[in-house]
């Protein structure tokens, strides 16, 4: 067996999600090759070569891979896939965009967002917002798989010494072009890999009130998230959303503030180790998954929490 991992990176660093995907590849078994497709991406390829357990890095460096456009990256993955039994990518907005396109070109039924490896052909994945877990077996010659990153530990980013080999670029498909991006910048940890997450919901009432959560987050070294309701209402940007169709998080501690707990939100956080819910409505479904529930007005409880953390 041999596994090709399509790396997510920003041309200089490897995204943490790639490290979780390498661990999923190791559970499948066999040699692990990491594909770094980028532009001016030598640093990212070198970083990939240092990941523990990786035996080879394929590095395709060309202008058409600068922004990870699916129309350009997918044909490259297809050209390389023939030598591998499995092709994996993280189930991030990058992997979800690129990998199904490659799977269709390979005439393979992709297995999305696996949370477990049973054997080389058989995988566990959540369906219905995680309200059911399906075990599925693939009969395709190559298995094309995206990986739920919270279900697998991160591989060590140091310790490996894989050889970096150049891969031929496939050219620009000429179907799409990158215009620009508005990325949220934050000094806080990244939401999907943070050890502690504090999220706000509709109960926060407006975006300004999220400053209360940020204050607590900074004392705990936490990331700040939100429910769909808070994002739809415009309190915070889309990249804060935790849930079935947003980000899936599984930190050591998840603090849900003013979040009622719709099943779509629970889908994104119920695998957290410890869940705290703060809500004034004692009937809120969030309390059914909480380890510690505090029935209180968040506008009193959150400032009190901030003060208590100083003590």
- For another protein, the closer CB: 34 or 253: 253
Q: Does 276 bind another protein (CB under 8 A)?
A: yes
Give the three-class secondary structure for 242: strand
Residue 31 region, left (φ>0) first, then alpha (ψ -120 to 50), else beta? beta
Cβ count within 10 A of residue 184: 10
Among 82, 175, 211, 283, binds another protein (CB under 8 A): 175
Q: Does 181 bind another protein (CB under 8 A)?
A: yes
Angle at 176 between CA 5 and CA 236, to 5 degrees: 75
- For another protein, the closer CB: 38 or 126: 126
Task: Determine the interface stretch with another protein among 25-33, 79-87, 156-164, 174-182 (rule: CB under 8 A).
Answer: 174-182
The half-sphere exposure of 288 on its side-chain side, counting CA atoms within 13 A, is 8
Q: Does 108 bind another protein (CB under 8 A)?
A: yes
CA-to-CA separations, 241 to 6, 110, 165, 220, in angstroms, rounded: 25, 25, 38, 20
Residue 156 CB, nearest approach to another protein (Å): 23
Q: Does 187 bind another protein (CB under 8 A)?
A: no
The number of residues that bind another protein (CB under 8 A) is 89
Binding mask 126-145 for another protein (x = CB under 8 A): xxxxxxxxxxxxxxx-----
Q: Does 228 bind another protein (CB under 8 A)?
A: yes
Among 66, 104, 120, 154, binds another protein (CB under 8 A): 104
Q: Please, which residues have CB within 8 angstroms of residue 188's CB and are 6 or more apart in sequence? A: 194, 214, 217, 218, 221, 222, 223, 224
Instruction: Report whether 103 contacts 86 (CB < 8 A).
Output: no
Helix or strand (DSSP H, E) at 101: helix 93-105
Q: Does 179 bind another protein (CB under 8 A)?
A: yes
Place of tokens 């390829």: 45
Q: Which of residues 63-82 bind another protein (CB under 8 A)?
A: 67, 69-71, 74
Among 11, 18, 26, 94, binds another protein (CB under 8 A): 94
Q: Please, which residues have CB within 8 angstroms of residue 272's CB and are 6 or more apart in sequence? A: 197, 249, 250, 251, 252, 253, 254
Q: Which of residues 281-310 bind another protein (CB under 8 A)?
A: 287, 289-296, 301, 304-305, 308-309
- For another protein, the closer CB: 159 or 307: 307
Q: Does 109 bind another protein (CB under 8 A)?
A: yes
Among 13, 153, 168, 232, binds another protein (CB under 8 A): 232
Q: Does 249 bind another protein (CB under 8 A)?
A: no
CA distance 259 to 241: 12
Among 40, 238, 281, 297, binds another protein (CB under 8 A): 238
Q: Which of residues 8-37 bind another protein (CB under 8 A)?
A: none
């Amino acid at each position: 067996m041999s596994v090709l991992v399509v790396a997510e990176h920003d041309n200089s660093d490897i995204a943490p999600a790639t490290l979780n995907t390498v661990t999923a590849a190791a559970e499948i078994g066999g040699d692990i090759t990491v594909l770094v497709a980028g532009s001016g991406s030598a640093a990212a390829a070198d970083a990939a070569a240092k990941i523990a357990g990786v035996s080879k890095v394929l590095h395709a460096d060309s202008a058409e891979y600068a922004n990870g456009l699916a129309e350009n990256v997918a044909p490259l993955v297809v050209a390389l896939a023939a030598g591998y039994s499995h092709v994996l990518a993280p189930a991030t907005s990058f992997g979800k965009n690129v990998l199904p396109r490659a799977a269709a070109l390979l005439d393979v039924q992709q297995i999305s967002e696996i949370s477990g490896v049973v054997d080389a052909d058989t995988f566990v994945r959540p369906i219905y917002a995680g309200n059911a877990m399906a075990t599925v077996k693939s009969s395709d010659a190559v298995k094309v798989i995206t990986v739920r990153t919270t279900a697998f530990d991160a591989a060590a980013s140091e310790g490996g010494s894989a050889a970096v080999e150049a891969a031929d670029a496939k050219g620009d498909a000429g179907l799409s072009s990158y215009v620009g991006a508005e990325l949220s910048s934050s000094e806080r940890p990244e939401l999907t890999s943070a050890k502690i997450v504090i999220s706000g919901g509709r109960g926060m009432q407006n975006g300004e009130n999220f400053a209360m959560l940020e204050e607590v987050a900074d004392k705990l070294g936490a990331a700040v998230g939100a429910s769909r309701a808070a994002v739809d209402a415009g309190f915070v940007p889309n990249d804060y959303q935790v849930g079935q169709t947003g980000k899936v998080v599984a930190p050591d501690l998840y603090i849900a503030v003013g979040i009622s707990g719709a099943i779509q939100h629970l889908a994104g956080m119920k695998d957290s180790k410890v869940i705290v819910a703060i809500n004034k409505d004692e009937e809120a479904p969030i309390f059914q998954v909480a380890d510690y529930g505090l029935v209180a007005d968040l506008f009193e409880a959150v400032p009190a929490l901030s003060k208590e953390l100083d003590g």
